[in-house]
């Protein structure tokens, strides 16, 4: 684990690069666009946030799979955790314009390190970040259709786990299932939404 001093140095270093930050390092957003996005999120409008971060989401999954040799399911889970934490920090005004691509990928790597209880060198080769590509309305439409195709049980499970942050153990206790069974059900639901997405996209 990094010491507190090293963590502070990393954050100071990121902040010092704010003035020279490029849109390519910030999901294609210019600083004024970033500020408008945060303001809209604080007012309840997350359309731009969803569009921007859906593009980064898949890239981060691929990066984690390649960088740490993990399966897609594990990479998906930690990327979702990082996305939710990143969103909360944006709304709270705790993230400023800078190299957000790096920060997001670093957060996902930290979640992976925490979840596997292994010491992971998070900043090694950090320049090998995935390239963020712009996504169109067709991708968002496909995701929306895929979500609507899910059965009510899957929508409820994924919403409870990823957005309400209810643990699988708690969900298992509520339904009378084992935690292992609930984990398998979550995985099946994720696979379903991926298949539906591919059908529409």
Please list the pLDDT of the chain residue by residue as tens digits (201 residues). Answer: 334 444 444 444 444 444 455 667 787 888 888 888 889 888 988 888 887 777 788 888 888 888 888 888 888 888 888 888 888 888 888 888 877 888 888 888 888 888 765 443 444 444 444 444 445 667 677 777 888 888 999 889 988 887 788 888 899 999 899 888 888 888 888 878 877 777 776
- Helix 137-149 and helix 179-200: axis angle, to 10°? 130
Among 96, 100, 101, smallest CA distance to 35 is for 96
Report the 10 Å Cβ neighbour count for 151: 10
Q: Which domains does the chain have, with CATH numbers?
A: 4-116 (no CATH), 137-200 (1.10.10.10)
pLDDT at 133: 45
Query: Average pLDDT, whole number, for the chain?
Result: 76
pLDDT of residue 31: 85
Gap between the Cα atoms of 30 and 34, Å rounded: 6
């Amino acid at each position: 684990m990094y010491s507190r001093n090293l963590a502070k140095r990393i954050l100071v270093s990121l902040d010092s690069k704010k003035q020279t930050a490029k849109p390519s390092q910030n999901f294609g957003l210019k600083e004024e666009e970033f500020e408008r996005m945060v303001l809209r999120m604080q007012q309840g409008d997350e359309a731009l946030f969803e569009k921007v971060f859906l593009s980064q989401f898949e890239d981060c999954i691929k990066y984690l799979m390649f960088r740490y040799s993990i399966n897609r399911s594990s990479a998906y889970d930690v990327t979702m955790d990082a996305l939710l934490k990143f969103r909360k920090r944006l709304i709270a005004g705790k993230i400023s314009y800078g190299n957000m691509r790096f920060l997001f990928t670093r957060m996902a790597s930290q979640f992976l390190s925490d979840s596997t209880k292994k010491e992971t060198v998070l900043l090694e080769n950090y320049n090998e970040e995935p390239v963020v590509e712009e996504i169109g309305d067709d991708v968002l439409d496909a995701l929306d259709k895929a979500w609507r195709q899910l059965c009510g049980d899957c929508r409820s499970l994924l919403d409870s786990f990823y957005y309400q942050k209810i643990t699988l153990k708690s969900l298992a206790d509520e339904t009378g299932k084992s935690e292992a069974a609930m984990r398998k059900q979550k995985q099946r639901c994720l696979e379903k939404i991926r298949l539906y997405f591919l059908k529409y996209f």
